[in-house]
Amino acid sequence: MGINERKEREKVELRGLILKGAMEVFLEEGFENTSIRRIAERVEYSPGTIYVYFKDKDEILHELHIVAFQQLMVAMQKTEMHPEPLDQLYAIGDSYITFALANPQLYELMFVLRAPMKAIHPDCEWEEGFRTYHYFRDVAAKAIDKGQLKPIDPEVLCVTLWATVHGLVTLHLRERFQMIPPDQIEPIIRHCLRQLLQQYEAK
């Protein structure tokens, strides 16, 4: 009975098509203009159909949020070309900043917006975030083990590094850096990260 299998395939396909359309609308029109009706229009289905394939709008945004983390993860994994953990740590920071500035909407979906987090069940874990954070922390831990960084708690180091870059990026994205000339913001962000990391280097 291959019919049920085909139906299952078609269901998955349409779900994927809706997500593809949702991502297009999200990237082209921005979060504030990403409505169910616009997504439905984009994929040429009625608004009601969306709710057959997704519980609510938050679930759609959570799926996009997962895709965004996959993209960041790909960018970060390219840093494995560096044999030394310390060099890789610098490269991870660089790729994080590059990703955030090149994909501001995706960055906000990952680390600022509340909506995608509401789709995560309270007892469940924030898988995407955990995986990315652990990848980062493991590299930092290796750099400490190898004596390339001072022997501090890798958790505290990672939280500090992450928060600093996140703070710089979001103050910029949400237009709170009006005291800094626009063309100097990106250099300052990269400079702050380098200087911060340098302070933790074993001398």
Cα separation, 25 vs 9, whole angstroms = 24
In three-state secondary structure terms, 149 is strand
Q: Minimum distance between the CB of residue 51 and DNA, rounded to whole angstroms?
A: 4
Stretch that binds DNA, among 43-51, 87-95, 122-130, 171-179 (CB under 7 A): 43-51
Nearer to a second copy, 40 or 139 (CB): 139
Nearer to DNA, 42 or 172 (CB): 42
Contact status: 31 vs DNA (CB under 7 A): no
Contact status: 17 vs DNA (CB under 7 A): no
Contact status: 114 vs a second copy (CB under 8 A): yes
Contact status: 7 vs DNA (CB under 7 A): yes
Q: Minimum distance between the CB of residue 8 and DNA, rounded to whole angstroms?
A: 8
Q: Which does 194 bind (CB under 5 to 8 A by kind): a second copy, DNA, none?
A: none
Measure the CA angle with vertex 87, ends 86 and 90; round to 5°: 90
Report the 10 Å Cβ neighbour count for 30: 12
Q: How far is CA 167 from CA 32, 75, 157, 188, in A?
A: 22, 20, 15, 12
Contact status: 36 vs DNA (CB under 7 A): yes
Instruction: Of 103, 39, 93, 36, give the one whose Cα is nearest residue 69.
Output: 103
Helix %, strand %, coil % of the chain (to 5): 80, 0, 20
Residues that bind a second copy (CB under 8 A): 111-114, 117, 125-126, 129-130, 133, 156, 159-160, 162-168, 170-171, 174-180, 188, 191-192, 195-196, 199
